[in-house]
Structure 1
Amino acid sequence: MYFKNISIYSLSVWLVLSSCSGKKEEEKTVYENKKFAKTEQNTVQLSEKQIQSVGLTTTNIQNKTMQKLVRLNGKVEIAPSHISSVSSIMGGHIKSINVINGSHFNKGQVLAVVEDPQFIQLQQDYLVTKAQLESARLNLNRQKDLNTSKASSDKTLQTAQADYSTLNATLKGLEEKLRIIGINAKGLSTGNIRSRINVYAPFSGFVSKILVNNGQYINPSDTLFELINPTGLLLELKVFENDVDDVKIGQEILVYNNQNTEQKSSAKIVSMVPNIENGGASIAVAKLSSPNPDFIRGMYINAEVSVNSRYTLGLPNESVVSFENKNYVFEDLGNRKYKMIPVTIGISDDSFTEVLKANYLKDKKIVQKGAYSLLMLLKNKAE
């Protein structure tokens, strides 16, 4: 019985040890499998059919002269100095309005016609004063002749001179008033007195607002129109904090609107607002090199600024893929096997992207066309 118990005990010990040993072997195998999966998680192998479907091609790291391309966006605005409010010099009733909102006008064009009896009175005062001045001139000349022969006193001559000077000043004032309401005093006569004056465009541009209507009585302080001079068109562009040091006054840029991205116009940065707003951006103000009627106030636009030209190592843009805010390329390992390699990128242009510290890629074949497809296959495999 004693030996039987020993045998049972020995057998139990052996079974426990065997069980532990087997468990360790199993854990070791699972661990090794996990370790193998970890080393293989950044590689993907394709079949011939997959390679043909993707149309995969390879390239090599290349030396390129590149420029950093800063992309900006913003809106078209008008400088305050080029937005004009037009009013009538004198009050009256609006007889006619010759433009509509948004219409183009030329300098000197009649925008509106204003009518009032005071215009008649002003012309009448001018003609009466002109006649009185002529009479005063003749009287002054006569008094000079009489005073020379002592036939009249010095006081009479002085009075004649004062009358002439007063009327001459009055006439000049009336002449100037007529000029600023658009009436040529030199050609004025009793036969062409008129009750209406024209409101003329001070420059060529566009009508932004019309604030009156026909028949309305307006005062000299009332604004009739708001006009825009397109030569004051400005581009206000947002420059994010990490690009502020690269955007400078005097730089040439290319701008385009969202409706016509292929048609780009040249402009120059004329001002930089020296502060960062709450959104993390500053404002660059640019001006078009030549007028472009396609750009209108309030339109959203995009711009490109090329800076920091340098000779560097780079790859075609399609070779570099992004995932979870990191950048990668795929190395062709041969036998239809591809490995994902993390890279740090620098500047980029329309076709190439700079790869920083890229000497370790010089002897490697890098996937060009199909890199994104490889990324998708690899991530699906990992999932």
Structure 2
Amino acid sequence: MSLKNISIYSLSLVLILSSCSGKKEEEKTVYESTKFKEKDQNTVQLSDQQIKSVGLTTTFLENKTMEKLVRLNGTVDIAPSHISSLSSIMGGHIKSINVINGSRFSKGQVLAVVEDPQFIQLQQDYLVTKAQLESARLNLNRQKDLNTSKASSDKTLQTAQADYSTLNATLRGLEEKLRIIGINAKSLNSSNIRSRINVYAPFSGFVSKILVNNGQYINPSDTLFELINPTGLLLELKVFENDINDVKIGQEILVYNNQNPEKKSKAKIISLVPSIENGGSSDAIAKLSTLNPDFIKGMYINGEVSVNSRYTLGLPSESVVSFENKNYIFEDLGNKKYKMTPVNTGIYDDHFTEILKAEHLKEKKIVQKGAYSLLMLLKNKAE
């Protein structure tokens, strides 16, 4: 190889090595710059005016006994056994209706009045049979006396006994029919026969539906009202899949509606449906410990169950902020500089949130009031 060729080769090698070295230096500079930017995007620097405006305060991790609060939501329903269809024992024309849809009523209250001539006939049959029975009783006693002195035959006595027994059975049957339609047979006489009967409420509750109107002729099979007994009120609550193992039959819960969230009522879980729906939840059925007239069928409600009490590390709930389905806290680095740090949270309530694997945060100052404002400042800065 000639000297000239050696020189050209050496020069090319130097240029190649120089080019590679420059590229590595450039890549290193870009990497360090990117790394710095990513790190810088997790911190925010405030001015004195900003700190004052936000009202920023700090706190430290603390130990506290906590209970997991499972939140439920659902609707109010009525057990099928407590929804009743009310009919008239006997047919007739509706003379009056004394309630409207939604009316509350007490047991024994007159809900409607039905009129028909057959009621008159039933009372008349009772009074006639009652009179015949008295006559048959006197005849039976007379035949007994005559038979004792052999003045009448045994056959005559037996006929008298059969007549009395037949009329007595007929009278008892008529008396029971009168009782069912609300007429006291004991106080019935020829001067107080009436053509109307009352339809009474069988329990205390409220009217769900009225299915008749004044003047309508109804048969015994026709439903006049649909009645709801509030003692059968049930709460159908959704339990999400990750909370299912924490909810048990027999647990006491607090329930409330959206209109009055401060007024909470006690209830008890009486049933759990052993299946997961497409939405990732199951159903829990609860019953109120005491009746609450504010709860009506179809109303949306919320529930809370406290479970799994434990001693744990945590922070005030306002220290924890959420962004894109992840939880963060802000660490006070000093000199008005704050760093956003991801954390894993456990159980929580309105005032305190458990921080899992939080040993590295002990003794560090954590932002309490103003954490959300820092998140907004940080994200606006990143944008």
**TM-score interval w.r.t. the shorter chain?**
over 0.9
Aligned ranges for residues 302-321 of structure 1 at < 5 Å? 302-321=302-321
Bigger mean CA offset, 171-180 vs 38-47: 38-47
Partner of 2:28: 28
Instruction: Out of 333-342 and 68-77, give the one that drifted further.
Output: 333-342
Partner-residue secondary structure (3-state), 2:25: helix
Partner-residue secondary structure (3-state), 1:261: coil
Over the residues paired in the alignment, what is the CA RMSD in angstroms?
2.2
Instruction: Please identify, of 101-110 and 367-376, the stretch whose mean Cα deviation from structure 2 is larger.
Output: 367-376
Q: Trace 1:249-268 onto structure 2 (pairs within 5 A).
A: 249-268=249-268
Which position in structure 1 is the counterpart of 2:286? Answer: 286
Aligned pair 1:84/2:84, yes or no? yes
Structure 2 counterpart of 1:123: 123
Q: Give the superposition deviation at 1:153.
A: 1.2
Corresponding position of 1:69:
69
Alpha-carbon distance, 1:89 to partner: 0.2
Question: Matches of 1:377 and 1:203 in 2, distance apart?
Answer: 62
Counterpart of 1:325 in structure 2 is 325
Distance change in 2, residues 1:12/1:237 (3 Å): closer
Equivalence for 2:212: 212
Which deviations, in whole Å up to 9, do the C-alpha atoms of 1:182-213 show, x marking residues without a partner?
Answer: 11111111111111111011111111110000
Q: TM-score, normalised by structure 2?
A: 0.93
1:335-359 per-position Cα deviation (integer Å, ceiling 9, x unaligned): 1222222211110012000111222
CA distance in 1, matches of 2:282, 2:13: 78
Secondary structure class of the residue paired with 2:90: coil
Cα distance between partner residues in 2 of 1:309 and 1:8: 81
The total of aligned residue pairs comes to 382
Q: Which moved more, 1:9-18 or 1:46-55?
A: 9-18
Aligned ranges for residues 287-366 of structure 1 at < 5 Å?
Answer: 287-366=287-366
Superposed counterparts of 1:235-246, under 5 Å:
235-246=235-246
- Matched with 1:376 is 376
Q: Which residue of 1 aligns with 2:367?
A: 367
Counterpart residue type for residue 368 of structure 2: Q
Q: Any unmatched runs of 5+ in structure 1?
A: none
Aligned to 1:151: 151
Residues 196-237 of structure 1: CA deviation (Å, up to 9, x unaligned):
111011111111110000110000000000111112211111
**How far apart are the structure 2 equivalents of 1:81 and 1:12?**
97
Gap runs ≥5 in structure 2: none
Q: Deviations over 1:247-298 (max 9, x none)?
A: 1122121111111111211222222222222322221111222221111111
Instruction: Output aligned runs, 1:219-238, within 5 Å.
Output: 219-238=219-238
The alpha-carbon distance between structure 1 residues 243 and 17, as it changes in their structure 2 partners (threshold 3 A), is: closer
Report percent identity of matched pairs.
Answer: 86
Structure 1 residue 21 displacement after superposition: 4.9
Question: How far apart are the structure 1 equivalents of 2:367 and 2:57?
Answer: 6
How far apart in 1 are the matches of 2:157 and 2:6? 160
Three-state SS of the structure 1 residue aligned to 2:189 is coil
Q: 1:272 maps to which residue?
A: 272
Which moves more between the two structures, 215-224 or 38-47? Answer: 38-47
2: distance between equivalents of 1:325 and 1:207? 47
1:108 to 1:150, Cα distance in 2 relative to 1, 3 A: same
Aligned residue number for residue 58 of structure 1: 58
Counterpart-to-counterpart distance in 1, 2:148 and 2:21: 148
Partners of 1:277 and 1:16 in 2: how far apart? Answer: 66
Counterpart CA distance in 1 for 2:285 and 2:18 is 80
TM-score by length of 1: 0.93
Distance 2:100 2:170 in 1: 39
Deviates more, 1:286-295 or 1:85-94: 286-295
Counterpart residue identity of residue 159, structure 2: T
Residue 20 of structure 1, CA deviation: 5.7
Residue type of the partner of 1:321? V
One-letter code aligned to 1:99: V
Q: CA deviation at 1:378?
A: 2.5
The alpha carbon displacement at 1:23 in A equals: 4.7
Tell me, what secondary structure is at the counterpart of 2:133? helix
Measure how far apart 1:5 and its partner are.
Answer: 11
| Counterpart residue identity of residue 48, structure 1 | D
Q: Distance in 1 between matches of 2:185 and 2:76?
A: 43
Cα deviations by residue, 1:60-88 (Å, 9 ceiling, x for unpaired): 11111111111111111111121111100
Residues of 2 paired with 1:19 and 1:281: CA distance? 62
- Letter matched to residue 108 of structure 1: G
Corresponding residue SS for 2:261: strand
**Residues 368 and 10 from structure 1, CA distance in 2 versus in 1: closer, same or farther, beyond 3 angstroms?**
same
Q: Report the Cα offset of residue 38 of structure 1.
A: 3.3
**Helix, strand or coil: the match of 1:248?**
coil
Change beyond 3 A, Cα 1:162–1:274: same
How far apart, CA to CA, are the structure 1 residues paired with 2:158 and 2:308? 80
